[in-house]
Structure 1
Amino acid sequence: MRARASFGIIAGLTLAAWAVGGASIAESARAIPVPAPKIDAARPAALQTAVLAGGCFWGMEAVFEHLKGVKSVTSGYAGGDQGSANYDAVSTERTRHAEAVRIVFDPRQISYGTLLRVYFGVAHDPTQLNRQGPDTGPSYRSAIFPIGAEQERVARAYLAQLAAAKVYPRPIVTRIERGPFFPAEAYHQNFARRNPQHGYIRTWDEPKMAALKAAFPALWQDGWSG
């Protein structure tokens, strides 16, 4: 079910009534104290790009847009072909795309490994298979799309580090994938920024932003990037 399309049905429910995988919204949005990566990417002067998938791109975009050093975040689709990279097609769950965000960042201010730390600690739940919160289907999967061998090396090392640390009560299901990124439709871009009172944003994404500010105060910026 595309919960965003039918949000009016559920908007009146309390947080406690919305149980997903045994956890309420408030619990699932709580930051997980993940360790800093032991292996990180180089930090050149040039801007770098990362592509991450972790459920609805509205919330992913909102989280990463509040990080110092992030220059822009674009919502889109990764893992499928260009012809079906549109919301109607992806919603059929037959296109192989994942809802994802493309993050342009300054590695002198924030490293790729730090982006992954926020991704695993705040932005989504990496133990949910083909879903996030109320949204179900493979387009909501947890996946990293490394750009280059170095990002893949860092991502694989961090996945192994987190698994060894056993910081989650369930196994991590995040996949390392390859595939191009295609920007989503204009109405999806900067959605949380433009629609702060939207029911989905207030219920599912505001708690993530609050968790980010509490868990990573040195990374938080009050304004939006881009």
Structure 2
Amino acid sequence: MSQPGLFISFEGIDGSGKSTQARLLAETLEARGIDVVLTREPGGSPGAEEIRALVLQGDPDRWSARTEILLFTAARRDHLERTIQPALDAGKVVICDRFADSTRMYQGLSRGDLRAMVDQLHSLMIGVEPDMTILIDMDPAKGLSRALSRQTVEERFEDFGEDLQKAMRAGFLALAKEYAARFEVIDGAREIDEVAGDVLAVVQTRLEKAVQS
């Protein structure tokens, strides 16, 4: 089944279930014969995965917000060059667990008024936005509880606590209004299958539009 390239990102606070929904969407589309690349940020390419270990592990104050912006942008550039753009050029559907909107929130908004810096670097070094962004919305307290229960070594941002999660949720919802043409907000406080059904429905609509255009 031939499809034009389509770039889909998933966003949301920690513990919102976005990674699960990204995986389920990829599995469903693949079962329908669509060529899918499932990837993540930070990471998704060998160099970017090395940077992932630097930014997601260690003490919460390990890096300043400005340093984090540079590290995330470097990882994203490598990811774009080696994974995302080649897949899109080949007509594949790229499903990415987080992209630039996470940097706009975590580094650009929550850790200082650095949103303009994030956008400037993004324009200069990345220059690409997803065709659609699925925001899995979740209560901050419930999301943080879920995230901490995973007990992984990548808990640096969870360690900032519930206040950060509250700021992130508000920020993501504001981004959804700012970029309304590409955002779809899905209620994540339901059974996994219910959320997955809504995700698939909005993606199918975008795929149909892409084929027609």
- When the two structures are superposed, what TM-score results if normalisation uses the length of structure 2? 0.29
Q: Relative to total residues, which structure has the larger helix share, 1 or 2?
A: 2
- When the two structures are superposed, what TM-score results if normalisation uses the length of structure 1? 0.28
